[in-house]
Every structure is written in structure tokens, then in C-alpha cells.
Amino acid sequence: MDNAKERVNRVWDLIRQVMDPELPFLSVDDMGMIRGVRLEQDQIIVTLTPTYSGCPATDVISSDVRSALHSVEPTGRVELALSPPWTTDWISDGARRLMTEHGIAPPEGPSADRAFLTGQGKSIPCPRCKSTHTTMVSAFGSTACKAHFTCDACLEPFEHFKCI
């Protein structure tokens, strides 16, 4: 493997270890925020798409990605790409499983189905007991990308990561 590929691969390996500060059991790569790592004129550039343009965690995520990048490539840079906008369609299957394991109902269905944005009119399964008898308490949970639900079967509260 040539030096350029090795450098890019080392950066990828480190970036895959950068965790989402709001979902610390998921990496930013699992969440689909890393759009690419490339070498351009002997500089490594990481392209990052935040979950939404107003996400308060974007600065922390950018800084953490930059730190990982700079541990291998001190002159590398992180680019924010807002177009195309991030979508829950980019979340990996593994990340969806981990959300469920951590008591968060992952987004279901394609992001184009706007009924899933608020959870209204859709059955959001409880991540604990899998019942589809759930009630939305609030369209907004601990972050703007989550809604708060209660399971009518096991009576446990849970968050649902909205389709965006």
C-alpha cells in the first residue's frame, strides 16, 4: 500500500473512534456524518456533515474530528458540507441496533416519510418491550432530533430519534 493510502486509512481508523457527544455509544461515522476522507495536494481533508445546520454539538464534533485528524496529519483540515443535508437514511444498521440497545427507538422508514418526523400517526415501537402501543408525550426530547414517548404496555418512557 502506498504512503497516501496508508495516511488516509490511518485517518479513517481514528475518525471511526470519534463518538457523537449526544449519543456517546455511537461514532460520528456510524451516524453517517463523515462524508469522506481524501488527499488533496498532499493534505488530508475530512468532510463532515452535521445532523442539522443548527446542531449545538457541531463545534464539539468538528473539534474532536480535527483532533483525531491532527494526531496523524497536523496540516489536515475538516470541511463542513451542508449540501446535501444529512439524513437519518445515512445512519448505519449497526447504529440503529445500538440505539435500541440503549433504549432509544431508532428512526424507522425513509426520511422522505415526513409522518415519522414527529411520530404522529405512526406506531413507534418501544425499544424495551417492542410493543407498538406507545404514546408521544412531546415532539421534542432531550435534543431537537428526538421525540419523547411512553410505552403503554411496559409504561417505560423512551426517546425516538426522528426521521430527518
Range of the domain at 121: 88-161
Of the CA atoms within 13 Å of residue 79, those in its CB half-sphere come to 14
In this predicted model, what pLDDT tens digit does every residue of 113-131 receive, in sequence order? Answer: 555 555 556 789 999 999 9
29 shares its domain with 74:
yes
Of the CA atoms within 13 Å of residue 72, those in its CB half-sphere come to 23
The domain total for the chain is: 2
Percent of the chain with pLDDT over 90: 72
148 shares its domain with 93:
yes
12 shares its domain with 72:
yes
In this predicted model, what pLDDT tens digit does every residue of 19-71 receive, in sequence order? Answer: 999 999 999 999 999 999 999 999 999 999 999 878 888 999 999 999 999 99
Greater model confidence, 17 or 123? 17
